[in-house]
Amino acid sequence: MILEELEEVVREGFREIILLGQNVNSYGKDLGNPQAFESLLEDIERRFGGEKIWVRFITSHPRDMRREIVEIVRGSRILCPYFHLPLQAGSDRILALMNRGYTQKEYLRIASFIRERIPEAAIGTDIIVGFPTESEDDFAETLRVVREVQFEIAYTYAYSPRPRTKAAQLKDDVPQEVKKERLRVLNDRLREAYLHRLRVHEGRVTEVLLLEEDGELVARTRENLRVFLESGENLRAGSFLKVRLARNPQGKCVGIPVLCRDGGES
């Protein structure tokens, strides 16, 4: 079914396809096949590997992020090397309260494997501060993971109770002003880590896909980095452009179009 849907959207001219799930890694587990997602990715590569498309998948639960998935992406022509791995918290104690099913060490192990096997890959995450009983030591563990992984993309939140969840049964005992301050510190550290991580991408010539987001034309790399174009005319959504990545004084990732010998853009 999924392959048939992919064939249809490719025929219609779409250039980017996203496999979306709360935990895409668990695809097929209900059918008794714990590695069905790997098989799906391999089928997609075999059938569409010659097409001019990009295929992403989100979100991957760190508990189910297998090395085989990373290796399939590494050898693919169309699967994008962007891995969204929600950390949520860096403290093992808080992770256990959240019932996340992994430890900090296990999270860092898979993140390190991704960096080792695909150096240019990007890792995204979600992080919550101020979960019930979170101490300064717990928060420091989250900052430790941020420093080690150097996420390219991060969505951050201050904890608030959600009805009918197990966490809602816990006392929301972290003061709002503490949550606010931790969120500020976290975002500052994420920004510092992002700027440091951009050094890996600076100077690299790569292809970007032009997309329309909120009525604005933007560019993204295979790694899902948002790129601000330095120049370029007659550009349209759905087209590819080869650029050289750089960083401007404001710390944004910019793309300088690379010209062919005949003066046209490659």
17 in any annotated domain: yes
Domain residue limits at 249: 205-257
81 with 58: CB under 8 angstroms?
Answer: no
90 with 142: CB under 8 angstroms?
Answer: yes
Vertex 74 angle, CA 102 and 211, to 5°: 95
Cα atoms in the 13 Å half-sphere on the side-chain side of 34? 5
90 with 104: CB under 8 angstroms?
Answer: yes
**Quick one: tokens of 135?**
């101490």
Same domain, 119 and 193: yes
41 in any annotated domain: yes
> Residue 214's domain is classified under what CATH number?
2.40.50
210 with 243: CB under 8 angstroms?
Answer: no
Q: What per-residue confidence (pLDDT) applies to 29? A: 83
174 with 130: CB under 8 angstroms?
Answer: yes
Domain boundary (58, 80, 102) is at: 80
> Residue 155's domain is classified under what CATH number?
3.30.750.200
Same domain, 160 and 189: yes
Same domain, 168 and 209: no
Q: What per-residue confidence (pLDDT) applies to 236? A: 86
Q: What per-residue confidence (pLDDT) applies to 234? A: 74
Q: What per-residue confidence (pLDDT) applies to 104? A: 98
46 in any annotated domain: yes
Rounded to whole angstroms, how far apart are CA atoms 122 and 221?
10
pTM: 0.92
230 in any annotated domain: yes
pLDDT along the chain (266 residues), means of 10: 94 95 90 89 96 96 96 98 98 97 98 97 98 98 98 97 83 96 98 92 93 85 91 79 90 82 40
Q: What per-residue confidence (pLDDT) applies to 180? A: 98
Domain boundary (80, 107, 131) is at: 80
Domain boundary (65, 80, 95) is at: 80
